[in-house]
Structures are given as structure tokens and as C-alpha cells.
């Protein structure tokens, strides 16, 4: 069901154009105070099931709860522990048991209120409970607002690696209120900015310029800059997802820029708050550009420009800052679990310039390992 919702007068709406699974992303300041207006069509018998985490429940839940209460809608809340460790079989089992105890029905919409962790695991639970129900994304971290809430990649991590058990399952609606970023810790804001910069690096050099010019205002909390940045990012993501929903043609794989390196670093640091996903992606993108320079695809000046912007957002750009100084062989062993692996080879996202990323099928993993040894200072 794609229930109609009357947007707040000032809401910006971006549509993810996926035919009968199309949905809208509403972006507006103060949206959560009006959550009931958007969620009422999804409340079966006047009740909603909300999944959140133990930090978001302290900072954001009240605004949503007040809105629902004011509209006479009841809700039940399931609280995950915060952090990447919650994307686990154990938490998925707890969550699905809870949903079943609360008599979730196939036509129901579960509400994911939180960062990418809450969104990814809730989306996956929605995909499997009763062989598939629906969900609404209310992303509360910058990373979730600009990236994870859009596009329907849902997953948990497995012992073998990142996001290895999951499904494509699109949400029915995405509600983004930039105001909630006020309570987001600065380190988490920076982590989300890495995925923002990614859109510039993929195919939008002009947006990369915008990020350079507006980075200071963004981190100073300028509301207009933050809102425009979020809107531009979700437009990019919606466009790429609509072109290649299930990552079949290579277009959506562009969104994986920096992630082959990044996921290996997250695995090496134990999927913990030692290295956040966005931080791992920042290091991964800097590495992808330096590797592209090493093999003569782009200039080192271009790679330096990427690292400079990431550093000005206080993001790590090398293995030392990531706390993941490991041998090339160790890191490339993690990469063998990458979901892009095909026929025993791993395509890599490389770049000819800022805004000119492409999927290369010619990369030798041994050469990547040698590059990483050099980056780690293990070679002369
Ligand atoms: N599905 C996708 O397309 C996709 C895309 C990118 C990332 N991801 C996944 O998203 C996850 C990372 O997401 P994330 O960076 O949002 O991490 P997260 O969900 O752990 O949230 C970051 C932290 O901020 C807290 N938080 C969130 N919103 C807050 C707010 N408004 N105020 C105060 N605290 C708040 C959370 O409790 C958490 O501690 C990773 O697992 C990554 O793999 C998925
Ligand atoms: O939506 C996509 O497609 C992405 O690749 C977005 C990434 O930022 C995100 O981290 C995604 O989960 C990584 O995809 P995966 O397929 O490698 O798990
Ligand atoms: Zn990512």
C-alpha cells in the first residue's frame, strides 16, 4: 500500500521512481511534530509498532509520541541497543519475536525510527516476518537521512562480514526532519557527511565543489545548508536506485564507492564504535582515489583534494587514523566476502577524477594488497 499523505506545506518531496513500489521522501524542518499526519494512514486500528534504539528513544521518540498521542493514535515501542553490534541475528530474533507477540499482520507498516542500524534491521525484519510486511523510515542520523533510509537495502551482519544476510525491500515512505540532527553527536554527523561527499565523487563534481564551499557552514549547524545538502543527497540516491534497484546493471554499484575498503576495515575493527561505518567509508574513498592515482587513472592532486575535504570534516583518511593498520593480505581476505564478487573476481570502484567514478573489472587483488601494505607502512 502506498497510502496518500498530505505533506506539511513547506515539505520538499523527492519520489523514488520504482513503478508500483514508488515512494516519497518528505524533507522538512519540524516534520516530526506532525508525524501523526503522515503516519495515521499506516496505523491499523489506530496503533503503530515503532522500532528505535536506546539513544534515539531519549532524544527523538518523544516528539513522535506526542504527535501520535495528540492525534489519538496508540503505539508500542521496541528498543534496540545502539550501535553496529545490534545488526545481529540475536537482535533480529528478539525483534521478530516482539513483532509476532504484538500480532503484526502482513499488511502492517512497521516504523523504523533511528539511524542506519535501526533502518537496516527493521527493514529486514519487515521483509521476513509473516513472509513480508511493510515499513516506514524515519531516519534520525545524517547518514540515515542522506543514504540508508532510501533504496531498500536491508541487512544484518554475519560472522563472515558486513550486511551479508539481507534483502532488497523498499520502504513505503521516508520522513526526514533535519531538526533532529541537533542532538546527533558531532562524530556521527561527520560520519554521515562521508556518504554526502560520496555523491559528489561518484558523478557530481559540482556537488563536490558545493561540499567544499559549505563544509564549515554545514558543521556550524546552518539549517539551510544542512537541509539543501540532505535534499541534494536523497535526489542523487533516488536517481541511482531508480536506475538500477537491485544492483544488476552496475549503476547502483557506484554507491559502493569506498565500501570494499571500508567494509574490510569495519570487519578488521570488529564492527564496533572504534570505526563507524561513515568513517570507514571516508578512509575507503580516500584509498580508492589514491589507488586510482597509483595505477595512473587520476592525478594525485585529485586524490589529495578528496582527502582534504574529508579531513576538514574531521574524518579519517588513512589506515592509521582508522585504527586498522593490518597487512594487505589480511584486509583483502575480508574483501573476498564482498557482495560484488562475481565468478571469483572482485570488481572495484575506481575514479578518473572527482565526479568520474566507474566500476573496474581489471583490478588484481594482489596489487591492492601491495598498495595496502604500502599504506600501512609495511613496505618501503
Ligand atoms: N541500507 C543502506 O543503503 C545503507 C546505506 C548506508 C549505511 N547503511 C548502514 O547504516 C549503518 C550506519 O548508520 P548510522 O551511521 O546512522 O549509525 P547508527 O544507526 O548506529 O546511528 C548512529 C548513532 O547515533 C545515534 N543517533 C541517531 N540519531 C540520533 C539523533 N537524532 N540524536 C542523537 N543520537 C542519535 C544512534 O543511537 C547511534 O548511537 C551501518 O550499519 C551501515 O551499514 C546502510
Ligand atoms: O544503497 C546502496 O546501494 C549502497 O551501496 C549504499 C551504501 O552506502 C551502504 O553502505 C550499503 O549498505 C552498502 O551496500 P552493500 O551491498 O555493500 O552492503
Ligand atoms: Zn555506506
What domains appear along the chain, each with residue ranges and CATH number? 12-182 (3.40.50.1970), 186-375 (1.20.1090.10)
**Distance separating alpha carbons of residues 261 and 271, to the nearest angstrom:** 14
Q: Which residues lie below 8 Å from residue 270, measured CB to CB, with a gap of 6+?
A: none
Say whether 81 sits in a helix, a strand or coil.
coil
Q: How confident is the model over 178-201, as pLDDT tens digits?
A: 999 999 999 999 999 999 999 999
In this structure, the chain runs to a length of: 380
Is pLDDT of 5 > 60? Answer: no
Q: How confident is the model over 205-235, as pLDDT tens digits?
A: 999 999 999 999 999 999 999 999 999 999 9
DSSP bridge pairs for 135:
110
Q: How confident is the model over 47-81, as pLDDT tens digits?
A: 999 999 999 999 999 999 999 999 999 999 999 99
Q: What number is the ipTM of this complex?
A: 0.99
Which residue's alpha carbon is nearest to atom 16 within ligand 1?
115
Instruction: Please say if 169 is a catalytic residue.
Output: no
DSSP bridge pairs for 24:
15, 173
Catalytic entry in 84, 87, 157, 247: 247
Q: How confident is the model over 272-291, as pLDDT tens digits?
A: 999 999 999 999 999 999 99
How do strand 134-139 and strand 109-114 relate by DSSP bridges?
Answer: parallel
Q: How confident is the model over 8-41, as pLDDT tens digits?
A: 557 799 999 999 999 999 999 999 999 999 999 9
User: Do the beta carbons of residue 170 and residue 24 sit within 8 Å?
Assistant: no
Query: How far away, in angstroms, is 115 Cα from ligand 3 center?
Result: 12
Query: How far away, in angstroms, is 144 Cα from ligand 1 center?
Result: 6
Is pLDDT of 3 > 50? Answer: no
Q: How confident is the model over 257-276, as pLDDT tens digits?
A: 999 999 999 999 999 999 99
Question: Which atom of ligand 1 sits closest to the CA of residue 151?
Answer: 3
Instruction: Please say if 277 is a catalytic residue.
Output: yes
% helix, strand, coil for the chain, step of 5: 50, 20, 30
C-alpha cell at 166: 539481507
- For position 380, what pLDDT does the model report? 54
DSSP per position, 219-264: HTT-HHHHHHHHHHHHHHHHHHHHH-TTS-SSTGGGGGTTHHHHHH
- For position 378, what pLDDT does the model report? 85
Average pLDDT, the chain: 96
- For position 6, what pLDDT does the model report? 56
| Binding-site annotation, residues | 116-120, 140-141, 153, 162, 195, 259, 277
Is the CB of 60 inside a 6 Å radius of any atom of ligand 1? yes
- For position 307, what pLDDT does the model report? 98
Which residue's alpha carbon is nearest to atom 21 within ligand 1?
115
Q: How confident is the model over 114-145, as pLDDT tens digits?
A: 999 999 999 999 999 999 999 999 999 999 99
Q: How confident is the model over 89-118, as pLDDT tens digits?
A: 999 999 999 999 999 999 999 999 999 999
Question: What integer is the mean pLDDT of 168-173?
Answer: 98
Say whether 349 sits in a helix, a strand or coil.
strand
Catalytic entry in 75, 163, 256, 290: 256
Residue 13's φ and ψ, nearest 5 degrees, are -120, 125
Instruction: Report residue 317's pLDDT band, with 50, 70 and 90 as the boundaries.
Output: very high
Q: What is the dihedral of CA 268, 272, 277, 279, to 10 degrees?
A: -80
Question: Which atom of ligand 2 sits closest to the CA of residue 247?
Answer: 3
Instruction: Please say if 259 is a catalytic residue.
Output: yes
DSSP bridge pairs for 77:
50
C-beta neighbour count of 336 within 10 angstroms:
13
C-alpha cell at 81: 541497543
pTM of this structure:
0.97
Residue in 87, 188, 245 to alter for ligand 1 test, most ligand atoms within 8 A of Cβ:
188
Amino acid at each position: 500500500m502506498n497510502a496518500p499523505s498530505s505533506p506539511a506545506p513547506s515539505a520538499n518531496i523527492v519520489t523514488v521512481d520504482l513503478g508500483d513500489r514508488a515512494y516519497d521522501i518528505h524533507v522538512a524542518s519540524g516534520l516530526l511534530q506532525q508525524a501523526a499526519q503522515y503516519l495515521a494512514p499506516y496505523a491499523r486500528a489506530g496503533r503503530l509498532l515503532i522500532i528505535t534504539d536506546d539513544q534515539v528513544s531519549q532524544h527523538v521518540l518523544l516528539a513522535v509520541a506526542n504527535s501520535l498521542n495528540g492525534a489519538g493514535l496508540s503505539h508500542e515501542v521496541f528498543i534496540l541497543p545502539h550501535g553496529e553490534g545490534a545488526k545481529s541475528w540475536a537482535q533480529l530474533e528478539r525483534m521478530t519475536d516482539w513483532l509476532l507477540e504484538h500480532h503484526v499482520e502482513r499488511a502492517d507498516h512497521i516504523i523504523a525510527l533511528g539511524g542506519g542500524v535501526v533502518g537496516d534491521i527493521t527493514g529486514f525484519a519487515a521483509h521476513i516476518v509473516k513472509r513480508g510486511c511493510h515499513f516506514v523510515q524515519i531516519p534520525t542520523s545524517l547518514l540515515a537521512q542522506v543514504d540508508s533510509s532510501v533504496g531498500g537495502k536491508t541487512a544484518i551482519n554475519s560472522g563472515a562480514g558486513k550486511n551479508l544476510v539481507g534483502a532488497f525491500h523498499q520502504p513505503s515512505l521516508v520522513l526526514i526532519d533535519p531538526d533532529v540532527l541537533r542532538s546527533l553527536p558531532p562524530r556521527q554527523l561527520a560520519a554521515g557527511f562521508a556518504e554526502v561527499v560520496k555523491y559528489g565523487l561518484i558523478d557530481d563534481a559540482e556537488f563536490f565543489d558545493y561540499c567544499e564551499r559549505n563544509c564549515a557552514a554545514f558543521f556550524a549547524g546552518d539549517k539551510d545548508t544542512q537541509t539543501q545538502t540532505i535534499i541534494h543527497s536523497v535526489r542523487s540516491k533516488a536517481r541511482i536506485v531508480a536506475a538500477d534497484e537491485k544492483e544488476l546493471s552496475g549503476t547502483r554499484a557506484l554507491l559502493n564507492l569506498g565500501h570494499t575498503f571500508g567494509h574490510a576495515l569495519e570487519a578488521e575493527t570488529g564492527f564496533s564504535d572504534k570505526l563507524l561505518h561513515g568513517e570507514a567509508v571516508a578512509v575507503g574513498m580516500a584509498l580508492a582515489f589514491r589507488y586510482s592515482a597509483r595505477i595512473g587513472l587520476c592525478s594525485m592532486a585529485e586524490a589529495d583534494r578528496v582527502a582534504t575535504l574529508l579531513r576538514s570534516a574531521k574524518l579519517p583518511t588513512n589506515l592509521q587514523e582508522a585504527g586498522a593498520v593490518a597487512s594487505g593480505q589480511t584486509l583483502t581476505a575480508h574483501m573476498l566476502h564482498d557482495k560484488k564478487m562475481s565468478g571469483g573476481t572482485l570488481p572495484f570502484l575506481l575514479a578518473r577524477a572527482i565526479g568520474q567514478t566507474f566500476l573496474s573489472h581489471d583490478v588484481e587483488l594482489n596489487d591492492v594488497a601491495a598498495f595496502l601494505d604500502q599504506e600501512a607502512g609495511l613496505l618501503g
